[in-house]
């Protein structure tokens, strides 16, 4: 009998892979961006001073930094006096970025050196060069470098941008400014591979793709290029075949060579080499790179892995990110996972983290707990890396005061460059009111051609929706829909092409999930019963406080006649049905304090008209299965009949400066605000485990919150608390309570048979 379930292989489509595919798509297929005017190089009046610009300093992404001006053979800065967003716009446009996002005064990116070339700058925003803006005059300033201005430019580059060099010498001081970069596969064997790992390095300048002369090209240059495209390392390649190809087809070279140190996260931070004479590469050939992909992205088993990856116990991990290669940085120290404080956190350190984890260089070094707050200790502060460390744990940091002055509000994070796998092109949302919602439509191969179709809505859950939102780069799932009659999708895509989808929630593509394969089974059909999703850029993250559980545990013998309400709600063991009214049940009682450390409020899945009234608690419960309480033997076997506790969700307390938004009284709105926590006290009915029938011994106590993944969270791995406990028949001791996954694998192994809330196939 043929197995119904199968894991499908990734469709290998020949999609054009360029740097643009590394940016998140701003609009879905039905929401195209407006066309932009083609760029024309500026023609400056003869009396305008010739300057060049760059973004320098302590960056957290490549398109931001301290504004530096090259004039008369010397780099200098710009003062923040009278500076406005209009001046920032002129600077960003001059550097080839589409627009300015913001600007920062008071040397946010560190103090510069040399002259302060511009002060009291007044721009209208339409000038072609900063030198055309009104100012005190070039070199006339009463500022100090503590007033150096910085800007943040958009990721998007100006279409058709062409680098214009106004200098006759000192060009090796200039950063590289081009519209786009790509690795173009040349050999037939690499054209069919996804991701593209080997080929010509080409830059787009003036709207045309051009090769780079390999004169003075180094492995450090290759390291930077591979890092930009999501690869942690590079390797040697067969030079003979590329020389033969270059002789057959005359290359079109860019006017300059390139110099990188290997520490750069992006080509724009490298400097120009020498100018090619007549745009020819006399004895050389076009630059070729051959990159080593991370294990998760490798098309086939490849050599060179041992050089690119650490095989032993990982010392670094990412948590709380919406997509692969993004998250809060956590490091393992003394057997316990902790976070990194964002003091001095920059692209250099972030790139070390990304490469260590099998990704490329860092797109952005995140600060301020932007991807949610961690738990446990802050292990590292003021991290300083050279850029060539194998692990961020090898970088220097504040040894004496690891976490003094740091809180989890300052947790550092990263966004890494990952290879372009073409996943976004095989999935779309159709019919929604905005690009973040709609009916799910997938591209599959049928009878030798690619067709769009729907996914069967039967059994569609939050886990599957999370994968869809991740695949499209739209963040987290906020809702999963089994019917989409209100979202009319493409008429020619109504047919069901995928059914029985079951995801673990961690896959990069919906095609990686378990599903029926070619043997479709969807009784209701597609159309109005097709699966749909709505996505959100943020998500909540619930974390149970283990110390509160440990500190509030005690035993109570309670007579059965006082437990009738709890008995009706199935909060007691099954043997309680035969217990006389005056006989006691022994209850293991404790408090639960559940924090929301995420980026958005935790709200119940069902609407308030479907909430259930509970006589025991005298309020409405918005989630019937919110927690699981279990007592297990040391080998993981249940020894006490745990139960599924329902909750009314409200803000019991909040961090300083945060206002409560949810309360259970008077049929109020339910949820847990970011920065607040919901406390279910030990003296509330059903806040216990019935251990009447448990014999004395050593056990493991386990609590799991949001166990059925009904509500999307940024991290499910921290939804479990485990404790060791000893029961002597009269007293109970609770100790070693901790969040699942907060300790090293060796420590977790001392809790055999336990789940650690890693999402698994259901």
Binding-site residues from annotation: 541-542, 617, 619, 621, 713, 715, 718-719
3-state class of 661 per DSSP? coil
Residue 475: closest CA among 140, 24, 59: 24
Q: Who contacts 445 (Cβ-Cβ below 8 Å, separation ≥6)?
A: 11, 451
Residue 80: closest CA among 152, 154, 146, 153: 146
- Give the dihedral sign, CA 692/695/696/700: negative
- Vertex 20 angle, CA 14 and 25, to 5°: 95
- Give the dihedral sign, CA 347/350/352/354: negative
Q: Which two tokens stand for residue 497?
A: 């092409």
> CA-CA distance, 297 to 486, in Å (whole number)?
37
Are the beta carbons of 70 and 78 closer than 8 angstroms? Answer: no
**Bridge partners (DSSP) listed for residue 474:** none
- Give the dihedral sign, CA 556/562/567/571: negative
Pairing of strands 532-536, 542-544: unpaired
Instruction: Please spell the DSSP secondary structure of 570-583, one letter per residue.
Output: T-S-GGGGG--TTS
Are the beta carbons of 480 and 465 closer than 8 angstroms? Answer: yes
Binding residues for Ca(2+): 541-542, 713, 715, 718-719
Strand stretches in 470-513, DSSP E: 476-481, 496-498
Pairing of strands 496-498, 449-455: parallel
Strand stretches in 57-99, DSSP E: 64-71, 74-78
Are the beta carbons of 597 and 668 closer than 8 angstroms? Answer: no
Rounded to an integer, what is the distance from CA 625 to the centroid of its chain? 29
Q: What are phi and psi of 86, to 5 degrees?
A: -65, -40
DSSP letter assigned to residue 47: T
- Vertex 184 angle, CA 179 and 186, to 5°: 155
> CA-CA distance, 359 to 229, in Å (whole number)?
9
Backbone angle region of 652, left / alpha / beta, with phi > 0 → left and psi within -120 to 50 → alpha: alpha
Q: Who contacts 148 (Cβ-Cβ below 8 Å, separation ≥6)?
A: 66, 67, 77, 78, 79, 80, 107, 109, 110, 111, 112, 116
The H or E element containing residue 209 is strand 208-211
Binding residues for Cu cation: 617, 619, 621
Instruction: Please spell the DSSP secondary structure of 306-340, one letter per residue.
Output: HHH---SS-SEEEES-SSTTEEEEEEEETTEEEEE
Burial class (CB in 10 A: 0-12, 13-18, 19+), 285: buried
The b/e string for 156-186 (b: 16+ C-beta within 10 A; e otherwise) is ebbebbbbeeeeeeebebbbbbbbbbbbbbb
Are the beta carbons of 123 and 84 closer than 8 angstroms? Answer: yes
> CA-CA distance, 246 to 243, in Å (whole number)?
5
Residue 47 half-sphere exposure toward CB, CA atoms < 13 A: 0
Are the beta carbons of 627 and 704 closer than 8 angstroms? Answer: yes
- Give the dihedral sign, CA 208/213/216/221: positive
């Amino acid at each position: 009998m043929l197995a119904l379930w199968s894991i499908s292989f990734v469709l290998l489509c020949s999609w054009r892979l360029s740097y643009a595919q590394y940016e998140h798509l701003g609009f879905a297929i039905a929401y195209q961006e407006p066309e932009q005017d083609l760029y024309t190089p500026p023609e400056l009046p003869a009396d305008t001073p010739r300057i060049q610009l760059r973004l320098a300093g302590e960056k957290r992404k490549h398109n931001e930094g301290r504004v530096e001006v090259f004039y008369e053979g010397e780099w200098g800065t710009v003062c923040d006096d009278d500076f406005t967003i209009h001046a920032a716009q002129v600077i960003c446009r001059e550097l080839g970025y589409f627009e300015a996002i913001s600007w920062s005064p008071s040397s946010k990116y560190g103090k510069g050196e040399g002259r302060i070339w511009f002060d009291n700058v007044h721009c209208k925003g339409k000038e072609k060069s900063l030198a055309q803006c009104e100012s005190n005059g070039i070199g006339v300033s009463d500022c100090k470098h503590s007033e150096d201005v910085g800007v943040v430019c958009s990721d998007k580059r100006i279409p058709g941008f062409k680098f214009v060099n106004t200098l006759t010498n000192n060009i090796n001081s200039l950063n590289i400014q081009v519209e786009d970069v790509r690795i173009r596969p040349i050999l037939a064997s690499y054209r069919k591979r996804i991701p593209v790992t080997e080929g010509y390095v080409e830059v787009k300048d003036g709207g045309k793709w051009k090769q780079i002369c390999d004169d003075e090209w180094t492995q450090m240059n290759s390291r930077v290029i591979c890092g930009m495209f999501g690869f942690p390392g590079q390797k040697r390649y067969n030079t003979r075949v590329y020389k033969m190809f270059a002789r057959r087809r005359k290359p079109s070279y860019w006017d300059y060579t390139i110099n990188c140190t290997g520490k750069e996260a992006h080509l724009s931070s490298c400097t120009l080499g020498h100018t090619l004479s007549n745009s020819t590469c006399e004895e050389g050939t076009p630059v070729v790179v051959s990159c080593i992909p991370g294990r998760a992205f490798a098309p086939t088993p490849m050599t060179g892995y041992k050089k690119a990856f650490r095989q032993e116990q990982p010392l670094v991990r990412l948590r709380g990110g919406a997509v692969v290669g993004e998250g809060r940085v956590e490091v393992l120290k003394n057997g316990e996972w902790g976070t990194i404080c964002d003091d001095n956190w920059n692209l250099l350190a972030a790139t070390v983290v990304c490469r260590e984890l099998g990704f490329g260089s860092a797109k952005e070094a995140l600060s301020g707990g932007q991807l949610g707050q961690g738990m446990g200790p802050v292990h590292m502060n003021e991290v300083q890396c050279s850029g060539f460390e194998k692990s961020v744990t090898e970088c220097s940091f504040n040894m004496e005061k690891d976490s003094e002055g740091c809180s989890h509000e300052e947790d550092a994070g990263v966004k890494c460059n990952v290879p372009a796998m073409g996943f976004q092109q095989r999935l779309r949302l159709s019919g929604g009111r905005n690009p973040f919602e709609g009916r799910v439509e997938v591209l599959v191969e049928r009878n030798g051609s690619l067709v769009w179709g729907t996914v069967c809505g039967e059994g569609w859950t939050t886990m599957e929706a999370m994968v869809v939102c991740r695949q499209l780069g739209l963040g987290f799932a906020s809702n999963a829909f089994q019917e989409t009659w209100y979202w009319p999708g493409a008429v020619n895509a109504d047919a069901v092409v995928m059914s029985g989808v079951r995801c673990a929630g961690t896959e990069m593509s919906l095609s990686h999930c378990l599903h029926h394969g070619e043997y479709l089974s969807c009784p209701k059909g597609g159309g109005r019963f097709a699966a749909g999703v709505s996505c959100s850029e943020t998500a909540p993250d619930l974390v149970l406080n283990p110390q509160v559980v440990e500190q509030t545990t005690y035993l109570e013998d309670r007579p059965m006649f006082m437990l009738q309400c709890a008995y009706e709600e199935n909060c007691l063991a099954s043997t309680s049905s035969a217990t006389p009214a005056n006989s006691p049940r022994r209850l293991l009682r404790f408090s639960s304090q559940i924090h929301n450390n995420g980026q958005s409020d935790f709200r119940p899945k069902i609407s308030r008209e479907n909430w259930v009234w509970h006589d025991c608690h005298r309020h409405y419960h918005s989630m019937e299965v919110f927690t699981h309480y279990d007592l297990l033997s040391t080998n993981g076997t249940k020894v006490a009949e745990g139960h599924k506790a329902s909750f009314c969700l409200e803000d019991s307390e909040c961090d300083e400066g945060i206002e409560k938004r949810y309360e259970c009284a008077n049929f109020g709105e339910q949820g847990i605000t970011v920065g607040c926590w919901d406390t279910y006290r030990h003296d509330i009915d059903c806040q216990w485990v019935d251990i009447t029938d448990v014999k004395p011994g050593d056990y493991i106590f386990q609590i799991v919150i949001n166990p059925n993944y009904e509500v999307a969270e940024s991290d499910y791995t921290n939804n479990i608390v485990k404790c060791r406990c000893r029961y002597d028949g009269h007293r109970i001791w609770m100790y070693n309570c901790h969040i699942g996954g907060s300790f090293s694998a060796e420590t977790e192994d001392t809790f055999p048979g336990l789940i650690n809330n890693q999402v698994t196939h259901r």
